[in-house]
A and B are shown apart, each in its own frame.
Chain A
């Protein structure tokens, strides 16, 4: 790894030239990124296949299309986003210009993750570029093929002075964090997130943390089981369960479970055929270490495997698996699973299920499946989570108009679409006062008097749009 300090100093020098500020530059870079995505699709799919055996469909939708879409969204809207936002004035500032100016922070650090190695580093980059920052990208070293591809392609399509890819492991990242950045964007685990926040505190650097947690999936009330099962299975086993917003576990009644299991079997068969291992649409676990960990969890679980359970070490394959008779003390319920293993816990009432969820950390996403609107509303109103989706999974994060982020232990800050631009911008309050109206302005000067104060009070309270002093 080249001298990190020098790289960052270089980025800072580039930022100070002001080259990233004009709209034209940002659009050029965004178009460069778009070209990168469009001209290298085959290479990208290949790298993702080597890292995670990602099925082409999944890679196309969740890595290529989502990024392309976001780039286009930014290109189409950037001019508007960059405009000064004029805000309401009060009586005293009637002849003044009051607006919010969006400014880049400077040099930002983006740390990616391995499960969606392209999306999770490029979506933040889109916003960082759009907002006028320079960026240092640190892709995950675990998804090696994609890491290498990014290191090769980014300098070919983007300004080498303003956007740099740096590769390395945990120790290199730790040393990287000793440097000062103007914003740090991290996707990954809570343990590492704490270290990042600690490092950021030294420089008072703002951070965005996209973490995870155990995403609950509640199934209650009257329900079209077949459809629910299909959507649930799709969301769970997409990317072999290695999604931060995959449904982690299910809560439902025993009766629902009995109806759900055959529906899940049916959906799995329809999707992956009788032998999922041979199906090209089934992904693999990212590394041996992760595979071993999942197998360990499966082995130690006190639940009963009722669907799947097969595995092959050489291929890092685990079949889409469902367990029943799991309770809250089970090892599968102690950490985010992040694999194709779905425990079902039977909880007899919706209220108990909500209590169960609320006794735990706020998750990144929360799902409820039901044909009864009242059930959906109750769950929505009584719980907290980063995002919420009723009667489906994952899809809420594909909408660029919804902020995507966690709350509590699942993260802080959000992004996607305009939110990424806002995340990487400082909203500077600007007030350009006129020279006139000095007589009104003079009401605030000492010597203070009751009369002046009354006038000021009157001026304050008769306004429609409220203002504080003056």
Chain B
């Protein structure tokens, strides 16, 4: 039996003992996980520095603070999320219990990514634990130091049978994907997303795919360009552009292109000094393969800012490309790096058309002071998420579902959405073997009268809101039952 098979079997056995179900257990595991982030700050930051040159402050800001918030939310709300959710009934079921019962799915596979290795690997885990599942965690091997750290640290804090970490590269992941899971949660790119979905299809396993795409950023002529460009520069160059929701490219009127370039240049200097290469707050490209990929993209466009690079260090300066054409290499795939192409369009109509001609992105950004314009873009485009006048921050609002649509993904998570995504919401109807009189109308032999009653009782939906109405209707049902009993006897 392979290592991967063993881990999955053990997790399934552990799940079957039922110990992940009680709320106290889930809360305990979540609190242990929180302690990991409080106690191991230095090691986590150290590994991230080696993987992505993330700064010591960048780590909590972008990786762990969010996770701590999610854990605290889950711990606080778990009782409410996991409780049966009553729904409104029809006349026939008025005296019955009708509710939706959230239940764990079983064993979940979580495949993480390398760009925010803790955030995108652990956030689904929080949902999996909260929902009462077991979870096999496969961190990305590309962020190798963090993967190793996860493998070492997680078993010290959470149940190692229920939540094993399985490391490895492509062959190990393929072996994992052959096993049967009750849900597969993947964060990464489209190509592998298709492979994951295909593997899951053999077992009829549902998937959540957090993919990517080219997130457009439209800048309206009439807006505060200084603030807009500062926010865009922050959104773009954080983590060296290696963010699934980074603004991928800019669309703007030709008349403001120069000013946009100016403002972005100013902001980049404020953030990362004149020489970003020596600035501790500026990251690196994850590896040389991606470095080469990104540099090749810039080949047929004009550099307006930046452009310096150093292959040995996997360093690419914050770069802006101007007057970029739709056919340019940089517009053919998600950049996932610190190149910011600007394409000029003559109107918001052209921008909308440009966006709609392409695959639905994970995020869509619009900068404008004109609320009508913003509304137009919201109504006439589609994307995983939409953010006006800023970048990235919608990711941090727990009450907003985070996920893609079309090529950018399937499913969503964060906050309660993680819990629901990794639960089965089971519809339950609890009747008694009493009040049979009312039921008689549905039994054969069928008559026209009975059909009339059944049409009324079985299917008419009554949104019963007030207790008074409830009581009155209950009375009505009892009386009706008695009458029907009489008629049919």
Contacts and interface: CB of A to CB of B under 8 A. Distances in A.
A92 B204 CA distance: 42
Contacts of A434: 389
Interface residues of A, number: 112
Nearest to A90: B397
B32 interface: no
A256 interface: no
B393 interface: yes
Interface stretch (B251-259, B332-340, B342-350, B425-433): B425-433
Nearest to B61: A469
Interface in B36-82: 55-58, 60-62, 65-67, 69-70, 72-73, 76
A450 B430 CA distance: 56
A87 B397 contact: yes
Interface residues of B, number: 112
B446 A57 contact: yes
B400 interface: yes
A27 to B, nearest CB: 18
Interface in B205-233: 206, 209, 211, 223-224, 227, 230-231
Contacts of B443: 230, 234, 270-271
B385 A428 contact: yes
B394 A431 contact: yes
B444 interface: yes
B198 interface: yes
Nearest to B60: A453
A198 B406 contact: no
A470 B392 CA distance: 11
Interface string B431-469: 111101001001111100011001100111100000000
B396 A469 contact: yes
Given A271-B444, A428-B383, A453-B57, A390 B393 contact: no
B309 interface: no
B378 A101 contact: yes
A118 to B, nearest CB: 15
A396 B429 contact: yes
B204 A387 contact: no
A399 B204 contact: no
B201 interface: yes
Given A197-B197, A234-B442, A448 B204 contact: no
Interface string B388-406: 1110011111111110011
Interface of A is mostly: mixed
B426 A386 contact: yes
Interface stretch (A143-151, A202-210, A308-316): A202-210
Nearest to A442: B230
B410 A401 contact: no
A263 B398 CA distance: 54
B194 A448 contact: no
B426 A407 contact: yes
A29 interface: no
A403 interface: yes
Interface stretch (B83-91, B141-149, B165-173): B83-91
B303 interface: no
Nearest to B435: A227
B197 A387 contact: no
Interface in B230-278: 230-231, 234, 270-273
A227 B431 CA distance: 12
B382 interface: yes
5 smallest beta-carbon distances between A and B, as pairs: A468-B66, A448-B57, A197-B201, A57-B446, A402-B427
Given A380-B430, A395-B431, A460-B69, 10 more contacts: A61-B442, A89-B397, A197-B200, A201-B197, A271-B444, A369-B433, A395-B93, A402-B98, A407-B424, A452-B57
30 contacts: A55-B444, A56-B446, A60-B451, A69-B459, A100-B401, A101-B378, A106-B406, A197-B200, A198-B198, A201-B194, A204-B190, A227-B434, A231-B433, A271-B445, A279-B444, A369-B433, A395-B93, A396-B429, A397-B427, A398-B90, A398-B459, A403-B427, A408-B204, A429-B386, A429-B401, A432-B387, A435-B224, A446-B282, A466-B76, A468-B398
